[in-house]
Amino acid sequence: METSMFCYQCEQALHGTGCVRVGVCGKDPQVAALQDLLVYELEGLALQAVAVLDRGETIPSDIDRLVMEALFATLTNVNFDGADIIDLIQDVTAARRTLREMYGLHPAADLHTNEEAIRAAAAKVDIRPQAETAVDIQSLKDTLLYGLKGMAAYAYHAAVLGLQDPEVNHFFYRGLAALTDRTLQLNDVLDLMMAFGQVNLKAMALLDQANTGTYGHPEPTHALVSKRKGPFIVVSGHDLHDLKELLEQTAGKGINVYTHGEMLPALAYPGLKKYPHLIGNYGTAWHNQQHEFDSLPGAILMTTNCLMKPRPSYQDRIFSTGVVGYPGMTHIPSRGGKKDFTPVIQKTLELGGWTEDEPEKRILIGFGRSATLSHAEEIINAVKTGQIKHFFLVGGCDGAKSSRSYYTEFAEKTPPDSVILTLACGKFRFNDRDFGTVAGLPRLLDVGQCNDAYSAIQIALALAEAFNCGVNDLPLTLVLSWYEQKAVCILLTLLSLGIKNIYLGPSLPAFLSPNVVQYLVEQFGIRPITSAEKDLADILVPA
């Protein structure tokens, strides 16, 4: 297999253009090529599925689930294990054969079954065939693909909890099939992207329904962020079901469970916080994990994306589950819908944990849409009386770039008569600061993880309805940080809702061509961030 690659799906793309020798994320050229082949095979499966759907037939549910899982595995910082990707390619190949046999479709070409054939095909596959001949169309198609990857993560989490939506499932096929259509013009792909944004809203609503229906609505909670002595497990990622299973299996064993990164909001769900050994949160955002896990005397469980290459110092005590994978890392599989976390528990007890307590420190979380809108009348009155003059949504993905200090500075410079809504791991830049109160409410309202973006959208829509205006007419500004593909699907949903004048950073996506960027600026008022001081001055200028 060739030693070169090309990947520009995340914000840390090398030199702002793309990774060509090895991914900044740590993905090697072989895995990058295999992931491209997986996408290529998914496109082939989608073409067959669209033919089936157009006949009025249905796709087997296990194939729907496979598409979510396979796309999810290609997200940034999810699966670095080539063997896992090869298994998924073989599963997709088998699914293509199943559809062909079930519905009498024409034989599909290039079905790769053994590892040697798969690796040979991966060295040759090109999933960006219009990169040189139609730059802007390829840019839009890449954007759509990354949006589909992000939506796959949301749909996967909802499916784990038993909820699926046929419209969401079908759009995976129609979107993937469209990526192969060279007759599409710019307006065709733009229309498809806006349609995708609306379907992704349904996927986010489905996940919200799955989480809140299973664990209750998040409630304001003073979450512990200091250490307690004793054995412990740190759980990172986004999958609440994995956390629930682990809590059940560790109950009564003298083990404390800490959330990490995007798992922090789990501490606010009634159905999870009822476990007394779900004790608090350890650490900050995903990109600090190598430092934070380096000398940790406890076990670590990675449930979804945001995995970084483990250092040798903790390689024997970090475990993966779900779609996450890394060569040599112990993986906890699902068998019969259940997972056995015994290896994690045994390692935890062997390590012993922290030997003493830290002074207690807590932060306030749990302001999902239910908790926030329970104060709707107070918020509306505070706006009408001038106590609250502006709302800022400052959040999104975090990352290692020093320029991300912008978001800390921005939050700290917001005026005292404003409210800061935040969500996703970008909040770790400032969620330990004391912003005080306004109109009797906390100025900083933590809406949750990136999977809770639907909650933030519903808060904005509810405020717009209360004031009988559009979202763009509210004293509300979105200041977003992006990193990976879930941020892409959220952005496309916001644009499909007509939301304009979004401040976006720390840099613009490398996959947006100059013409596409110009279109987004002209049509939607997308604003690349500059400096916190300048952007705040522009936002707060008197009308």
DSSP string, 500-542: ---EEESS--TTS-HHHHHHHHHHH--EE---HHHHHHHHTS-
Query: What's the pLDDT at 113?
Result: 73
Closest alpha carbon to 215 in 445, 397, 451, 420: 451
**Burial category of 204 from C-beta neighbours within 10 Å (exposed 0-12, middle 13-18, buried 19 and up):** buried
| Contact between residue 331 and residue 303 where contact means Cβ atoms under 8 Å apart | no
Mean per-residue pLDDT for 402-412?
96
Residue-wise pLDDT tens digits, 353-401: 999 999 999 999 999 999 999 999 999 999 999 999 999 999 999 999 9
Separation in Å, CA 135 to CA 16, 112, 127, 155, 194? 17, 30, 14, 30, 20
Block residue for tokens 């819908």: 337
Q: Which amino acid is at 401?
A: K
Query: What's the pLDDT at 543?
Result: 56
Closest alpha carbon to 318 in 344, 336, 340, 341: 344
Query: What's the pLDDT at 111?
Result: 60
**Angle in degrees, CA 299, 303, 309, rounded to 5:** 70
The C-alpha atoms of residue 139 and residue 179 are separated, in whole angstroms, by: 11
Query: What's the pLDDT at 109?
Result: 57
Block residue for tokens 């490398």: 510
Residues 6+ apart with CB under 8 A from 183: none
Residue-wise pLDDT tens digits, 50-92: 999 999 999 999 999 999 999 999 999 999 999 999 999 999 9
Residue-wise pLDDT tens digits, 479-527: 999 999 999 999 999 999 999 999 999 999 999 999 999 999 999 999 9
Closest alpha carbon to 424 in 270, 286, 532, 298: 286
Closest alpha carbon to 490 in 529, 533, 449, 528: 449
Query: What's the pLDDT at 4?
Result: 85
CB atoms within 10 A of CB 531: 12
Query: What's the pLDDT at 50?
Result: 97
Separation in Å, CA 61 to CA 65, 66, 411, 445? 6, 9, 44, 38
Please, which pLDDT band fits residue 112 given cuts at 50, 70 and 90? low
Count CA atoms closer than 13 A to 350's CA, side-chain side. 9
Q: Crossing angle for the helix pair 186-215 and 240-250, nearest 10 degrees?
A: 20
| Contact between residue 269 and residue 40 where contact means Cβ atoms under 8 Å apart | no
Q: Which stretch of 7-11, 45-49, 50-54, 110-114 has the lowest confidence by average pLDDT? A: 110-114
CB atoms within 10 A of CB 3: 9
Residue-wise pLDDT tens digits, 256-305: 999 999 999 999 999 999 999 999 999 999 999 999 999 999 999 999 98
Query: What's the pLDDT at 541?
Result: 86
Write down the mean pLDDT value for the chain: 96
Query: What's the pLDDT at 1?
Result: 40
Query: Which phi and psi (to 5°) does residue 420 adopt?
Result: -110, 115
Query: What's the pLDDT at 254?
Result: 98
- Does the predicted TM-score (pTM) go above 0.95? yes
Query: What's the pLDDT at 107?
Result: 67
| Contact between residue 152 and residue 200 where contact means Cβ atoms under 8 Å apart | no
The C-alpha atoms of residue 137 and residue 181 are separated, in whole angstroms, by: 11
Q: For residue 449, give both structure tokens.
A: 């993880």
Closest alpha carbon to 495 in 115, 259, 143: 143
| Contact between residue 425 and residue 450 where contact means Cβ atoms under 8 Å apart | yes
The C-alpha atoms of residue 92 and residue 112 are separated, in whole angstroms, by: 10
Length of the chain: 543
Residues 6+ apart with CB under 8 A from 201: 454, 457, 493, 496, 497
Query: What's the pLDDT at 226?
Result: 98
3-state secondary structure at position 38:
helix
Mean per-residue pLDDT for 328-346?
96
Please, which pLDDT band fits residue 110 given cuts at 50, 70 and 90? low
Residue-wise pLDDT tens digits, 532-541: 999 999 999 8
Residues 6+ apart with CB under 8 A from 113: 90, 93
Closest alpha carbon to 98 in 147, 139, 60, 42: 60
Beta strands in 163-296 (DSSP E): 221-224, 232-236, 256-260, 278-281
| Contact between residue 151 and residue 203 where contact means Cβ atoms under 8 Å apart | yes
pLDDT score of 3 more than 60: no
Query: What's the pLDDT at 499?
Result: 97
Residue-wise pLDDT tens digits, 155-199: 999 999 999 999 999 999 999 999 999 999 999 999 999 999 999
Q: For residue 424, give both structure tokens.
A: 């996703």
The C-alpha atoms of residue 403 and residue 70 are separated, in whole angstroms, by: 33
pLDDT score of 114 more than 90: no
Q: For residue 88, give both structure tokens.
A: 């998924």
Residue-wise pLDDT tens digits, 210-242: 999 999 999 999 999 999 999 999 999 999 999
3-state secondary structure at position 80:
coil
Query: What's the pLDDT at 2?
Result: 47
> What secondary structure letter does DSSP report for 106?
P
Block residue for tokens 């670590």: 300
Mean per-residue pLDDT for 426-446?
96
Residues 118, 123, 126, 132: what is their CA dihedral angle, to the nearest 10 degrees?
A: 180
Q: Which amino acid is at 520?
A: L
